[in-house]
Structure 1
C-alpha cells in the first residue's frame, strides 16, 4: 500500500488534528484495507498518557491528546508500507530509507539530537522526525566529542531509519495539535450554570431549562437521534427525587393485569355462549326438518336477517377488541424522550407530557466508559459555589472525584450503574449532593467523571416543599395526641369530683371539641375548684 506524505499534515488518510471519533469511524468504514484497530490507553490514569490507535497491518500508531482527543503525532513504521514524498519513493518494505536517501529526497536540515533513554538519534525537519537506532559506543562518541552524526558515520548509507514521526510545528518536545477553525463545533468551551442551562461561547448560543422545543431547534438545529424512554427503567433523578413515587407505576401494572384477567374471563364466557348457540342451532335444525317447506322459507328469511345483524355486531366487537389491544400497547401516559447531540457531547431529556426540559447529560468520552466513541467529549465548565468557602469555582471534565467532594462536601449514598452486557467496561457509580441539582457518574477505579447530569432546579424546590409539609403533618399529629391526652386527664378529674359535677355535664364535656384555649381555661377552673374546697374545709374547722 502506498501512502502520500505531507510534512506537518498527514500520511495518506490520517491527518494531524483529526478527532478520535472521526478516526475510528474512518477505520471502521475502510476496515478491508486498513485492517484491525487496537486502542491503547492507561487504565490507572488516562490523562497522563496519550490514547493510541494502533493499526498492525499498516504499522501505524495514532497518538491522541488525552484532553482534546485529537491526533498529536502519527508514528509510521517503514517495514510494512511504502511512503511517497512529492512523487519520490521515500521508503518501502524491501528498502527502508537511509540517511543519505532522506537527504537527497527531502533535503538538508539542521543537526538532530540524541535520545539516550530510547537509544536512537532523531533527525528533524519541519513537522517530521526520523529515528535512527545507534549502538552504545556511537552514543558515547556523540556525547563526549559533541560530534554530528555525519562525522561519526562517514558512510551515510549504513544509517537506516526505522520510524517516522509526523506532527504539527517544529518543536518535537512540545507537540500540540493545530488550532481548530472558527466554524468548528468540536471541543468548544461550554459554560454550564446549573440553575439556568448551557451556554456555547463560540457560537454565542444557549439552551435553558425554560426553552421550548422550537427554541432549541432554532438554537442548535435538529438532534442527531431521538430516543423514547421506557417506563420500567427508573432514571437516576427519579431515584434521588422523592417526588416520583414508584407505587404509581406498580398500581398501573396491577391495573393492567386485572384488565387482562377480565378480558380472559370475557373470552371464556363468549366461548360458552357460542357452544350454547351451536346446541340451539342443532335443535332448531331438527325442528326445521319436521316443518313444511313454506315454514322453512320464512324461517330462512328471518335467519338471514338475524345473521346480518350478528355479523354487524361481530364486526363491531372485533373493532373494539383491536382498539383495546392497541390501547394496551400504547403507554397510559406519554413517555419521556431524549434528544442526542453526539457531536456536541450531550443529551437533552424532555418531559413526555409537558415537553419541558427535565435534564441535561454531559459526556466525557473516556476510553473505559460504556458510551465511548458514541459521543464526542463535551468541554464543559460548571460554574458553582464552594459550600465550605462560599466562593465561586469551576468544574471541568478532568477533575477527580476528591476535588469535587472538596467543593460540595460529602455525597449522598452512591448508586451502582452496572450490567452484564457492560462487564468489559469499568463500573461507574452515581453520586448526588444535598442542595444541588447535579449528579456525577464516577469511574470506580480512576475516580474521574464519566458523565454529569443536571436536572431541573424546580424539582429541588418541590422536594423542599414536600419535606416542609411532612414536618407540618408531624407537628399537627403531635398536637392532636397532646389534646387527646389532655382530654383524658380532664375526664379523670371530672369523675373524681362527684360533688361538683353531674353525670350530664361530664358527657357534654366529652362530646365537646377542645382547643388549646379551652385547656388553659379548664386548668384555671380546676385550680379555682381546689381553692373553693380548701375554703370550705376552713369553714368547717372554724
Structure 2
C-alpha cells in the first residue's frame, strides 16, 4: 500500500513543500527526510557542462524538479502521471481537489477553478500551465479550436514563477529573487591575501567582509549564526602549500554547509586562518555536501579610477583561472581522492588535483572545473 502524495498547487510559488527559488541543497536534504514518499530519486545533468548544467530531480513517478544552472535554484516543477497510483497523488487548489485517484483533471475542471484564458493546445495561467500531452510542449496560444474538448484529460501540470513565465522567457534561465532566498549568500567576492566579501539576499542587505588573520570565530557566529558543525581536524594534505606552520596550533573548522563555506580557525587566537568555498559541481566527490557558493576571484584594478576590477568565476575553466592568478605554467599539482576514506562511495571521476598559488589553492576536477577554492 503506497502513501498518498497530497500536495497543494500554488501557481507562481510552488507545490506542497517544494517552493520555487529554493536551493538544490535544501531540496535534496528535505527529500532525504521524505523517503517514504520518494524512495527513488534520479539526478539528471549534462556531464559535459558540469559547472553550469541545469539539474533535474526526477521523483518517481510524479515529479520533475528543474533547477537553474548557475545558482542551482528550483525554477520549474512538473507533475506528471496523475493517474499512476504507485503512489497515488492528490492535487489541491484553494481547498478544492483538482485531481485524485477518484477525480480526473479535465479541461472543464481547469476552467471551473481557474477561469478563462487564451485558447490553445495548453492552458496557461500566470505561474501555472496545464498540458494535455505526456511529453513536450504544445503550441500554447496558437492552438486550434477543434482541440478544445471539454473532457480532455490533463497529463501534466507545470509550475513556475510568474516573473519568468513568458513565452519569450528562457526555460532554463535563472530564478527571480524571492523571499525564500533571504539570508542566503548571493555572491562571494574573493580577494587573495585578504579574504572574502559576502553579499546576501535580499539585494539591499549589507555585505559581510571576512578577513584572514582578523575576523574571529565570534565575529562569524554573530554575523552568520552558529555553524552547522565544528570540526577539530585539519586536512594535513593542505599544509604542503604553506611555508609558515605552527604545529602546536591545531585549530578547528566552522562548517557552514548551508552557505557552501568552511572557515579554518586558529586554536590559539581564534581568528580565521583559511577560507574554503565550494562550487557543488554535480559528479564531484563533495556534491551536495555543501550548497553552491557563487564565488568570483577579483584581481587588481588597472588604475585608481577602475571601479570594475577583473574577475574570474566558479564556472570558468581551470586554465583560464590559473592564467588569471599566474601567467606562468600551472604549478605542480597534488593528487586527492576523497573517496579513499569512504568505502561505500564510488564515482566515475573521484580524483581531483590541488594546485597551490600564492595565497590560494584550487581543487580541480578531471574536467578542468574548479570545485573548491581555499584562501590562506
**What residue is the counterpart of 1:299 in the other structure?**
none
Aligned residues: 342
Shift of 1:244: 5.2
**What residue is the counterpart of 2:157 in the other structure?**
164
Residue ranges of structure 1 left out of the alignment (5+ in a row): 113-120, 250-332, 456-542
* Equivalent residue for 2:236, pick from 234, 257, 261: 234
**What residue is the counterpart of 1:428 in the other structure?**
352
Shift of 1:147: 6.8
Describe the superposition over 1:279-332 as per-residue Cα deviations: whole angstroms up to 9, x where unpaired: xxxxxxxxxxxxxxxxxxxxxxxxxxxxxxxxxxxxxxxxxxxxxxxxxxxxxx
SS in 2 for 1:347: strand
Q: Which moved more, 1:213-222 or 1:78-87?
A: 213-222
**Structure 1 residues 95 and 180, CA gap change in structure 2 (3 angstroms):** closer
Shift of 1:192: 2.0
* Equivalent residue for 1:206, pick from 204, 209, 228: 209
**What residue is the counterpart of 1:122 in the other structure?**
122
Describe the superposition over 1:66-102 as per-residue Cα deviations: whole angstroms up to 9, x where unpaired: 2111110000012331212223332234654222332
Q: Which has the higher helix share?
A: 1
8 Å CA contact retained: 1:96, 1:162: no
TM-score (norm. length: structure 1): 0.57
Between the aligned partners of 2:236 and 2:253, the Cα distance in structure 1 is 14
Shift of 1:439: 1.0
* Equivalent residue for 2:24, pick from 20, 27, 32: 20
**Structure 1 residues 131 and 217, CA gap change in structure 2 (3 angstroms):** closer
* Equivalent residue for 2:372, pick from 441, 448, 451: 451
Between the aligned partners of 1:206 and 1:425, the Cα distance in structure 2 is 38
**Structure 1 residues 155 and 243, CA gap change in structure 2 (3 angstroms):** closer
8 Å CA contact retained: 2:217, 2:270: yes
Between the aligned partners of 1:20 and 1:193, the Cα distance in structure 2 is 27
Between the aligned partners of 2:142 and 2:196, the Cα distance in structure 1 is 58
Between the aligned partners of 2:149 and 2:131, the Cα distance in structure 1 is 17
SS in 2 for 1:235: helix
**What residue is the counterpart of 1:153 in the other structure?**
147
List 4+ stretches of structure 1 deviating above 6 A. Answer: none
**What residue is the counterpart of 1:459 in the other structure?**
none
**What residue is the counterpart of 1:72 in the other structure?**
75
Shift of 1:394: 0.7
Shift of 1:149: 2.9
**What residue is the counterpart of 2:91 in the other structure?**
83
**What residue is the counterpart of 1:441 in the other structure?**
363
Shift of 1:154: 5.9
**Structure 1 residues 153 and 198, CA gap change in structure 2 (3 angstroms):** closer
1:168-179 correspondence to structure 2 within 5 Å:
168-169=161-162, 170-172=165-167, 173-174=169-170, 176-179=174-177
- 1:192 is aligned to 2:107: no
SS in 1 for 2:355: strand
Between the aligned partners of 1:444 and 1:166, the Cα distance in structure 2 is 36
* Equivalent residue for 2:319, pick from 396, 402, 418: 402
Between the aligned partners of 1:450 and 1:149, the Cα distance in structure 2 is 49
Q: Which has the higher strand share?
A: 2
SS in 1 for 2:323: helix
1:270-289 correspondence to structure 2 within 5 Å:
none
**Structure 1 residues 23 and 453, CA gap change in structure 2 (3 angstroms):** same
Shift of 1:8: 1.3
- 1:337 is aligned to 2:331: no
**What residue is the counterpart of 2:50 in the other structure?**
46
1:311-390 correspondence to structure 2 within 5 Å:
333-385=248-300
Between the aligned partners of 1:340 and 1:402, the Cα distance in structure 2 is 29
Describe the superposition over 1:94-129 as per-residue Cα deviations: whole angstroms up to 9, x where unpaired: 6542223322232210133xxxxxxxx432111111
**What residue is the counterpart of 2:202 in the other structure?**
none
Shift of 1:37: 2.0
8 Å CA contact retained: 1:207, 1:219: no
SS in 2 for 1:399: coil
SS in 1 for 2:310: strand
Instruction: For CA contacts below 8 A with separation 6 or more, give which structure has more relative contact order.
Output: 2
Between the aligned partners of 1:60 and 1:416, the Cα distance in structure 2 is 39
8 Å CA contact retained: 2:66, 2:76: yes
Between the aligned partners of 1:20 and 1:171, the Cα distance in structure 2 is 23
8 Å CA contact retained: 1:187, 1:377: no
* Equivalent residue for 1:10, pick from 14, 21, 24: 14
Between the aligned partners of 2:333 and 2:117, the Cα distance in structure 1 is 59
SS in 2 for 1:32: coil
Residue ranges of structure 2 left out of the alignment (5+ in a row): 200-204, 303-307
SS in 1 for 2:118: coil
SS in 2 for 1:369: coil
- 1:35 is aligned to 2:30: no
Shift of 1:161: 2.3
